[in-house]
Structure 1
């Protein structure tokens, strides 16, 4: 079976759902040309302000976020595009002339109604397929030249201004998980007449503190600042935001935050996203990951019998219910697969400290006392080898998941 990866987002057909998210990479015309040649469906250009040239950068701008040497994300203190509006305008024209079927999305930021509308009109005239508005910025707010709006009324007003100026060109508003009520803001976007949302922006964060110098990272000549967290650490939050918006608001969603593999992408699509914006994974693995993303998603679709993306976009949403609607009275117990278990003892410790002391150590390996196990799942969650499954008492164990 041949599957179709194309998708309609805000009325614009994308050849596949994979889009480059705004970043330093998408501020470079040569890089964007290579990306489109490699097979990316489109790109959101790095956010541009009315006069980005006054922005003053500091270095280093990016630090690694890790836990026990495992990469979990990046924190950046980068600001808006260093290019003038004229240069970004020219890049849009070049890209659309050379790649008429690729999706080029300028990201704009402004302070006044006049500036929001002027930027929108300029990029519409340049041939932009979609206009994305970066209303809220997690760091460097004194440099962003943006109305600092993080509430529905202001968002609705700005979205309406831009939509009025953009006319038939779709307008997308980028949302933040730090919003006090992201659903209320998404509803405001819907009321404004805008066409979609992008969720989510990076999250204001601190990478850590150097215990020798006592200076938080990154160290900029003895001082530090807050930055925007991106990468795998954001995925659970971004999934939640995507699902909540999809359940409550009738807007197209571009998902962003922690998408590393085609599996991540499939999860976001199942929870209601139409397109997938990716940045950190490209920085780690390069533009060539687009082949794996497309092939992996296509193979999974074939296995599941899905012919196109609309067959499964939002298909997991009906399974998400309020806690009060979850079924009660279903008993499960832990089962340890000895063929997979290496006797590390993590499950024993977890059950002793947070469970019901239902796991014993016998000859160096854990054993479950079914009469004590309540099925809380702490041991299952802690087992890195996936040697533990939760089964009905007396039931047959299934393969680890």
Structure 2
């Protein structure tokens, strides 16, 4: 059995799985139930000086058939006061003094407000501060959230303000809704950030009701742009984690689209030391931690790793700029006899590739190696895994 513990910005975690700042960390009672289930740490719902008054409804899924593949939310900050959260934090820390608990705080670019929030959370006994400069909806119109995180200079200022009063590590939660997240991350580092966290939700519009032609989620017949989360944003999140890990070498908490233990391993391989999860918990509950822990432990054992350290950042040296990508070796598609002649590859290659595949329905297809350009579209659409890419 491998050692799943990790030290992140000086904090000891029994395992790398954290609850992200979100509805599952709305109260002390909820956080304590999560810790009892086995979660390694948690971040409170984002705390502001003024409690939020949320829209109803405020969540909308994106489905492929009956399967949920993403979710948009238009939820804001906590509905509790600062004083209320001081009591909630003290309650959690009394029950789980060794479990890292971070406070997510958010405000407009006003130095005194950030410092007031930081000091209040510190007095409550929090283990770290997570600066939410990344919420993409509702808050930017107030000069909060992504309004700050999309501006590297402003992000740096907020970090420096908080660092003046903070007595615990300062973690900056960055937005993916920028051109160059590494540039913003570097500004956070230069102004004293102890660690980074990414990604927050992706700004989006989940869809339009075809019967009413009303955008969703509909609140009184209207809607707005919200924060998109769930499995669909994982590639964006992996890219962002890799970019900031390479650019800053600070500890990184990775999140965005994690749904299974395999996802956690990918995030760690591109530089995350801990991972945070929200949407999967909202859909499946705190109990998913059992499969996450078991899957990670089994994987480490199978790889011969005694702890997490050989995994963290293992893929980073293999991520290069596009100009450094090699044009060799060259490959072509090859099909084996498990092919059932479903014709999907023929259609895809004909209409989206190089017309290299022919065949008769129900029989193994034929691939013309001279026409094949090695794009791998056929392997991607094959439902049986009958097509692989082999050297020319």
Superposed pair shares fold, TM > 0.5: yes
| Equivalent position of 1:385 in the other structure | 384
The structural deviation recorded for 1:44 is: 0.6
Structure 1 pair 391–130 and aligned structure 2 pair: CA distance change class (3 A): same
SS at match of 1:224: coil
| Equivalent position of 1:12 in the other structure | 11
SS at match of 1:310: coil
| Equivalent position of 1:66 in the other structure | 63
Partners of 1:181 and 1:322 in 2: CA distance: 14
Do residues 101 (structure 1) and 113 (structure 2) align? no
Partners of 1:199 and 1:350 in 2: CA distance: 35
Structure 1 pair 144–343 and aligned structure 2 pair: CA distance change class (3 A): farther
CA contact (8 A) 1:215 1:222 kept: yes
| Equivalent position of 1:226 in the other structure | 225
The structural deviation recorded for 1:85 is: 0.7
SS at match of 1:115: helix
The structural deviation recorded for 1:144 is: 5.6
CA contact (8 A) 2:253 2:275 kept: yes
SS at match of 2:18: strand
The structural deviation recorded for 1:392 is: 1.7
| Equivalent position of 1:80 in the other structure | 77
| Equivalent position of 1:162 in the other structure | 162
Partners of 1:70 and 1:356 in 2: CA distance: 32
| Equivalent position of 2:245 in the other structure | 246
| Equivalent position of 1:397 in the other structure | none
SS at match of 1:216: strand
| Equivalent position of 1:396 in the other structure | none
The structural deviation recorded for 1:51 is: 1.4
CA contact (8 A) 1:332 1:391 kept: yes
Partners of 2:138 and 2:369 in 1: CA distance: 54
What does 1:1-400 correspond to in 2, within 5 Å?
2-52=1-51, 55-111=52-108, 112-141=110-139, 146=144, 148-149=147-148, 150-167=150-167, 169-339=168-338, 341-365=339-363, 366-393=365-392
Partners of 1:144 and 1:59 in 2: CA distance: 20
Partners of 1:204 and 1:119 in 2: CA distance: 26
The structural deviation recorded for 1:142 is: 6.4
The structural deviation recorded for 1:386 is: 2.4
Partners of 1:170 and 1:280 in 2: CA distance: 26
Partners of 1:58 and 1:237 in 2: CA distance: 27
Q: TM-score, normalised by structure 2?
A: 0.96
The structural deviation recorded for 1:363 is: 4.4
CA deviation vs aligned residue, 1:293-313 (integer Å, no higher than 9, x gap): 011001100111111111220
Partners of 1:385 and 1:64 in 2: CA distance: 29
The structural deviation recorded for 1:322 is: 1.6
Q: Which runs of 5+ in 1 are unaligned?
A: 394-401
The structural deviation recorded for 1:330 is: 1.9
Q: Which runs of 5+ in 2 are unaligned?
A: none
Q: TM-score, normalised by structure 1?
A: 0.94
Q: CA RMSD in A?
A: 1.5
Structure 1 pair 347–91 and aligned structure 2 pair: CA distance change class (3 A): same
The structural deviation recorded for 1:278 is: 0.2
Which deviates further from its counterpart, 365-374 or 30-39?
A: 365-374
